[in-house]
Chain A
Amino acid sequence: MTAREEVLGRIRRALGEDRAEVPEIARDYRLTDGRDPGDPALLDLLTDRLEDYKATVVRCAPADIGGAVTTALRTALGEHSPGDVVVAPGLPAEWRPDGAAEDDGRPAVALADHAATVTGVSVAVAETGTLILDGSPLCGRRALSLLPDCLVCVVEAAQVVGGVPEGLAKVDAVAPLTLISGPSATSDIELERVEGVHGPRTLIVVLVA
């Protein structure tokens, strides 16, 4: 007998012949927040939650995204050469800092040579301060938002939803997804939270409204 057959057989013996009907799951928790995506109160909540976890939030108008990204990078990196920044392949041209490199599918570890990354997001969850990146050209592959030490994510107002159920409903379950809530952190020493371990130590969110 194969291990598969044996384990499945054990489960069937454990559960017995007469299996009871499985009741429907009552999903009477909050499925929506009641506010529409992009509601100003949701943008404030997202900002508050991101800042609580030591992310930086800068707000800008739709016409000023490129300028806001460039300013944020200068603040985080100081004077730097344009090639220190690498952006997701699908990032709109007007969001890109001048001279930034584009992730062209080079070996993932080569991304570690860059100081900062700029990506978009798929959806943002206000209540938990969570950005969801889905591996699309706008968000880039997973290593892109991981290896450079500074991550800049551009979030458009209409992408901001209230709670976790709304956020997960908007993404593709079989895409490579990364949920990011603040910079990399640890609570492993005396259960006190410290920001900055292996992932980006700086997270800047450019919130467009």
Chain B
Amino acid sequence: MTAVFLGIPTAPRGVGHLRGEESFPDAARGALRNGQLRANLGHATSTIRGKRAHVVGELTDWAQLREAGRAIKAATMARLDEHLIALEEQVTARGGTVHWARDANEANEIVTRLVRATGTTEVVKVKSMATQEIGLNEALEAAGIAAHETDLAELIVQLGDDKPSHILVPAIHKNRAEIREIFLRTMPGVDPGLSDDPRKLAMAARAHLRERFLRARVAISGANFAVAETGTLAVVESEGNGRMCLTLPQTLITVMGIEKVVPTWRDLEVYLQLLPRSSTGERMNPYTSLWAGVTPGDGPQEFHLVLLDNGRTAVLADEVGREALHCIRCSACLNVCPVYERTGGHAYGSVYPGPIGAVLSPQLTGVEDNASLPYASSLCGACYDVCPVAIDIPSILVHLRGEHVEAQTRTTPEAAAFRALSRAMSSPRLWRLAQRAAGLGRFLARGKPTMPNALPFPASTWTRSRDLPTPPAETFTQAWAREHGG
């Protein structure tokens, strides 16, 4: 069954950050020429890969946790409506207000309205993929509300007028010297002698944000998990900026994708083991905040939960692709991906880069709007191996490629080539002729093991970025006939 057939809309165009301006290969070409970027990415991803492998290896029951993590998500999706209703009931019973948003536009309108009602014109934000996805900061800005990112990496991206390039560490494409330069340029009152020591840079961010935290009246967060049976929300973080936002302001607005719900409290015992070890390579992240509704005398006294669809139900309609909704945003698949490591996150054009982005973004938008992403992979399977909830990303990639090909209304050169190949391969006579013709390619190779890069079009579209081996002097069939006299 498909979303189109069922009349379930995908994420709307013209709002948010799920679509790039150019295709993946075009965007990647620029990134691949950036040596500094590749050095930064190579350094950071190899550091985190080592740390993750070490702490995952410490747990003797990792395989069982991973299977439980997968099974809980699959069971959640199978009854998603019931769990969301239970969550709404619990949050409401504990003094929170639940809002439903069909898409990015509606979620942005709800949040803008809620902030306006408080009379403030600035908010502090905890790092959140959902609010990036819907372009909330831009929507607030258009309404005259300043949104201050408080996560260190998000702050670096915001101050540098840049785009995030990684789910966990959005500024992974910047090294310490570049970050120092951004701080010197954009932070009012920063010490001009600031060094590029990460500790000193973190202290500069602390000083920059401290006063903002203390005066903030409204905070906006995402959620890592929401427990249906208790109405408990969870935000997992490291720096304490999350705690500042979740604790100090009078009003808290949490924007959460509908797939983040888990049925029971016990389910957190699985994910709070899987997530930190897979994301930052820590046994546990420094801070996890859990709250249910409003607690008198402790934290925000007004709590709003916005449940966001924005294409998620369209993903749910695809029985194969649905598994992408299991993602807990750890980013382990980015850190092991040979494609991500070379191109970086910007080339994917969406806030969800890397292998998970290549399966999630095209499903949220409809594959026609992110048609190049299912091909942004070598299908090596490293992403599947490290995924803490065992999402079979390579299979979904292949499934989406199939969907993209099916959707073509005009004959593509590739389809024509494969049709010709199919005819040749179903006729022994044509096949022999084709092989003999291919053997003529040896003249172009002039004795080299690969064909020249500059073949005439359309062969050039293949050989520009790949080596085409020179055809052998003799095919297997010919060799067999010669040796065995067949």
Contacts and interface: CB of A to CB of B under 8 A. Distances in A.
Interface of A: 2-4, 6-8, 10-16, 19-20, 22-23, 25-30, 49, 53, 105, 108-109, 112, 125, 127-130, 135, 141-143, 146, 164-165, 168-169, 173-194, 196-200
Contacts of A10: 8, 309, 313-314, 316
B407 to A, nearest CB: 19
B297 A27 contact: no
Residue among A16, A108, A174, A192 with the most chain B CB within 10 A? A174
B8 A14 contact: yes
Contacts of A194: 198-199, 202
Interface in B155-205: 156, 169, 171-172, 175-176, 179, 198-199, 201-203, 205
Contacts of A14: 1, 3, 6, 8, 313-314, 316-317
Given A28-B64, A168-B268, A188-B156, 13 more contacts: A7-B258, A11-B84, A15-B80, A29-B65, A142-B243, A164-B269, A165-B269, A174-B231, A186-B152, A186-B202, A188-B153, A197-B238, A199-B243
A2 B248 contact: no
B79 interface: yes
Contact of A128 (B171, B247, B284): B284
Given A3-B102, A178-B288, A190 B272 contact: no
Interface stretch (B41-49, B132-140, B368-376, B414-422): B41-49
Residue among B8, B153, B272 with the most chain A CB within 10 A? B272
B94 A11 contact: no
A192 B283 contact: no
10 contacts: A2-B100, A11-B316, A25-B267, A179-B284, A179-B288, A186-B198, A187-B169, A188-B151, A198-B210, A199-B287
A36 to B, nearest CB: 19
Nearest to B3: A14
Given A14-B3, A141-B298, A191-B47, A7 B307 contact: yes
A3 B65 contact: no
Residue among A49, A105, A165, A194 with the most chain B CB within 10 A? A194
B60 interface: yes
Contacts of B22: none
Interface stretch (B67-75, B441-449, B450-458, B463-471): B67-75
Interface of B: 1, 3, 6-8, 40, 43-45, 47-48, 60-61, 64-65, 67-68, 71-72, 75, 78-81, 84-85, 94, 99-102, 106, 150-153, 156, 169, 171-172, 175-176, 179, 198-199, 201-203, 205-206, 209-210, 213-214, 227, 230-232, 238-241, 243-244, 246-248, 258, 265-270, 272-273, 276, 280, 282-293, 295, 297-299, 307, 309, 313-314, 316-317
B44 A191 contact: yes
Contact of B283 (A28, A129, A142, A191): A129
B172 A146 contact: no
B79 A22 contact: yes
Contacts of A6: 100, 102
Contact of B295 (A26, A135, A173, A185): A135
Contacts of B150: 198
Given A135-B298, A146-B240, A189-B201, A8 B84 contact: yes
Contact of A13 (B100, B243, B272, B317): B317
Contact of B238 (A15, A173, A186, A192): A186
Given A16-B1, A141-B297, A179-B290, A187 B248 contact: no
Q: Which 10 A-B pairs have the closest CB atoms?
A: A199-B240, A10-B313, A198-B240, A128-B284, A14-B317, A197-B239, A188-B153, A179-B288, A181-B284, A29-B64
A11 B169 contact: no
Contacts of A165: 266, 269
A200 B276 CA distance: 20
B313 A168 contact: no
A174 B240 contact: no
Given A109-B248, A177-B289, A26 B71 contact: yes
A181 B272 CA distance: 12
